[in-house]
Structure 1
Amino acid sequence: MDAMGKTRSVLTLTGRFINEAVSFFVFSILDLVDFFLCFLYKVADLFFEAEWKPCYCSSSKEAITNSGKILLSEQGESKIVCLSSTKLQLEEISDTLYTRPSLLSEVSKMTTRENKRGSAVRSKFTVNSTIVEMLQGKIGGQICHPIPRWSDCDCKFCTSWTSSCKESLYVKAEGPKDHDAREDVLFIHGFISSSAFWTETVFPNLSSAAKSNFRLFAIDLLGFGRSPKPADSMYTLREHLEMIEQSVLEPHKVKSFHIVAHSLGCILALALAVKHPNSIKSLTLLAPPYFPIPKGAQATQHMMRMVAPRRVWPVIAFGASIACWYEHISRTVCLLICKNHRFVEFVAKLVTRNRMRTFLLEGFFCHTHNAAWHTLHNVICGTAGKMDAYLDTVRDNLKCNVNVFHGRDDELIPVECSYNVQSRVPRARVKVIEKKDHITIVVGRQKAFARELEAIWNNSSPSG
């Protein structure tokens, strides 16, 4: 037995050494590749960046672009007007970890001019009349849907959000009417996913009693699924919360509600709980990405190292490292895969003989690199320093039940994260599911999970 134990230890150490060595070699090459791609994209952006490509055209007189709003005049000239005031833009930027340099420089220039002259200065420029006519819809007919940006696909599924309200998230609602519902439940999906993560798994497996007593709201977060994907958004925590409020809480008159959240959604769930402490009936968190920050460490950098450790194995950690550390490589992947997702989905179904979950593929592909990159850095990493305060508020100011689920084999968010939540909020109940990972904690055990949710909702006590 001692010999077997020593052999395992040697093999483990050898495996770690090989992983470290290979990781160092691979990521050294990726550093060079990303630098090279950065140069290529800087050159390409001079000619092909979507400065002339509107996100959508609400009338023949205006169009929204990456840098602001183009107002088209009758004389065939146009001028750039920022979508919001400089003050608001600076407030948004201060809440982010990562921002586009072009936007920062533009706001900086405007602020300097305001300080010098005491009033806002709007840059003007003249464009070719043919371009103006095209934007006005005089050439090629009226533009009634977005012209895809470089990372967008032009299929109906990807552009479906443009046919609905552009000021609201896509919301899948089920259950009784307002006056018949006993309580409300908000479902928040994880990173690069969609509301289908819930509607294709949990919703069909809820009992008839639950469906008759609870209004269920599953949303596509801003920039994902069928929700709007504004090119000028920084996808900050504030923007995500405001869109949830104006898409679900306000129009549906939701006063108190349960929250079920997965991964990235757990951060938004905690922030919502802090913002609406008297409205939360229960918090159900699946694989919450909570890493306590060591004393003296920089919160966002520590979070990036924990979520994306720059390792080639396991595969999911390698993918997270690419997405987190290499903007231009991940942008290329988005360009090659997301823009051509219909072909990729066809190949995946052909190889797996339709065993691949279609809704998981759709959720993964239906986003833009802009939304994914900024959400990753500004929400997951950028709020790392706020998580302690959020959990302390839940512990001290909320009376709702807190339940945490985690897959034992989760290779992206380790199970220790859930125990970290419990250490901060002692009343939180942690349930570790054996032989389940980051996705199969729900997918594959949806019936059991639906029963667990119903028990939580029925046993929860009102907050406040």
Structure 2
Amino acid sequence: MSQTQHNTTDNKLIAYEVAGNGPPLLLLHGFPQTRAMWRPLVPKLAKRFTVMTADLRGYGQSSKPATIPEMSFRLMAQDMVSLMASLGFDQFHIVGHDRGARTAHRMALDHPESIKSLTVMDIVPTEYLLTHMTTEIAKAYYHWLFLAQPEPFPETLIGHDPDSYFERCLLGFGKASLTDFDADLLAEYRTAWRSPDCIRAMCHDYRAAIEIDWAHDRADLNRSVTCPALVLYGKDGAMANLLDVPATWADRLSNMQHAAIEGGHFFPDQSPKATADALMKFLTAL
């Protein structure tokens, strides 16, 4: 395991790790995880790439903003562009899962000159999800609406038993059991999500999605990401069961490949080898 390092961007401390050698590759986790989720994939990727894994602001060991505007995907994306520039990488490949994928998509829109390729994992575009919120989607992804409720309502309920709530999230978005998650990684997630500041920041993440990010994405509906892009999704995930995931990206990614991986929303945890293989196939072909 590589050593945790820290970088300050916009007065926010970003925790990250570096491994390997080669072209730069940044991996971003999602809710309710941390950069630790990538640990099973890093050894294979690090054989060909310099691999950075980072905690998004609000998560893991990074700073926990106290306000909603500070948790926008635009600012999360700027954190990571600044982090990579500080490490000497003005261009890099970006891979994101869940909230990390939404951050990566925003990064590709706001900083196209920095992104060599974009990989998003098990998401449909933020604007699409919110604009086409059906009863079925709302039931499967109820946490978008629950976590966005005014402070401190969700924070108070979650705070009574964070493990129970967040473990339910790990199991609730398509075919998964707790045994799918490495015990050491679960322990790290629990340490992070038991923090009241982390709980608040994660709620602000979802509040910002509706109050801030949705408008940013609507403003960019006529724009398409032009770099090579890969859409990966869990074969048995809630999104795959409810939507044609690649089709939701067709008018937003002009150079797109896509593939389904065995598992649900958290397929990188359930199928780390298949996930790493899919990434390597895509990235090395560029």
Are 1:452 and 2:282 matched, yes or no?
Answer: no
Normalization by structure 2: what TM-score?
A: 0.76
Indicate which of 314, 323, 328 corresponds to 2:147: 323
The Cα of 1:379 is off from its aligned counterpart by 3.1
The Cα of 1:279 is off from its aligned counterpart by 2.6
- Residue 60 of structure 1 is matched in structure 2 by none
Residue pairs, 1:93-104, within 5 angstroms: none
Aligned residues of 1:190 and 1:262 also touching (Cα < 8 A): yes
Are 1:190 and 2:36 matched, yes or no?
Answer: no
Larger Rg: 1
Residue pairs, 1:34-433, within 5 angstroms: 167-176=12-21, 181=22, 183-199=23-39, 201-204=40-43, 206=44, 210-232=45-67, 234-246=70-82, 248-290=83-125, 302=131, 305=133, 311=139, 317-325=141-149, 327-338=151-162, 357-358=182-183, 359-360=185-186, 362-363=188-189, 366-367=192-193, 368-379=198-209, 382-387=212-217, 390=220, 392-395=222-225, 398=226, 400-411=227-238, 414-433=242-261
Distance of aligned partners of 1:423 and 1:190 in 2 relative to their CA distance in 1, 3 Å threshold: same
Aligned residues of 2:181 and 2:270 also touching (Cα < 8 A): no
Q: AA paired with 1:372?
A: M
The Cα of 1:232 is off from its aligned counterpart by 4.7
Distance of aligned partners of 1:277 and 1:164 in 2 relative to their CA distance in 1, 3 Å threshold: closer
Aligned residues of 1:308 and 1:324 also touching (Cα < 8 A): no
Q: How many residue pairs were aligned?
A: 264
Q: Normalized per residue, which structure has more strand?
A: 2
> Which whole-Å CA distance do the structure 1 matches of 2:260 and 2:115 have between them?
24
Distance of aligned partners of 1:411 and 1:381 in 2 relative to their CA distance in 1, 3 Å threshold: farther
Q: Which has the higher contact order (CA 8 A, sep 6+)?
A: 2
The Cα of 1:308 is off from its aligned counterpart by 8.8
> Which whole-Å CA distance do the structure 2 matches of 1:254 and 1:377 have between them?
31
> Which whole-Å CA distance do the structure 2 matches of 1:453 and 1:256 have between them?
18
> Which whole-Å CA distance do the structure 2 matches of 1:240 and 1:307 have between them?
29
The Cα of 1:252 is off from its aligned counterpart by 0.2
Distance of aligned partners of 1:211 and 1:168 in 2 relative to their CA distance in 1, 3 Å threshold: same
Q: AA paired with 2:42?
A: F
CA offsets 1:258-313 (integer angstroms, 9 cap, x no match): 111112222211221123222322111111232665xxxxx96x46x4599553xx
Partner SS for 2:64: coil
> Which whole-Å CA distance do the structure 2 matches of 1:377 and 1:330 have between them?
11
Aligned residues of 1:259 and 1:269 also touching (Cα < 8 A): yes
Aligned residues of 2:122 and 2:239 also touching (Cα < 8 A): no
Identity %: 21
Q: AA paired with 1:194?
A: T
> Which whole-Å CA distance do the structure 2 matches of 1:213 and 1:391 have between them?
35
- Residue 13 of structure 1 is matched in structure 2 by none
List gaps (5 residues or longer) in structure 1.
1-160, 294-298, 346-351
CA offsets 1:325-369 (integer angstroms, 9 cap, x no match): 47544212332124xx59x99xxxxxx997753324533651423
> Which whole-Å CA distance do the structure 1 matches of 2:190 and 2:178 have between them?
19
Calculate the aligned-residue CA RMSD, in Å: 3.5
Distance of aligned partners of 1:310 and 1:278 in 2 relative to their CA distance in 1, 3 Å threshold: closer
Partner SS for 1:250: helix
> Which whole-Å CA distance do the structure 1 matches of 2:135 and 2:54 have between them?
24
Distance of aligned partners of 1:389 and 1:459 in 2 relative to their CA distance in 1, 3 Å threshold: farther
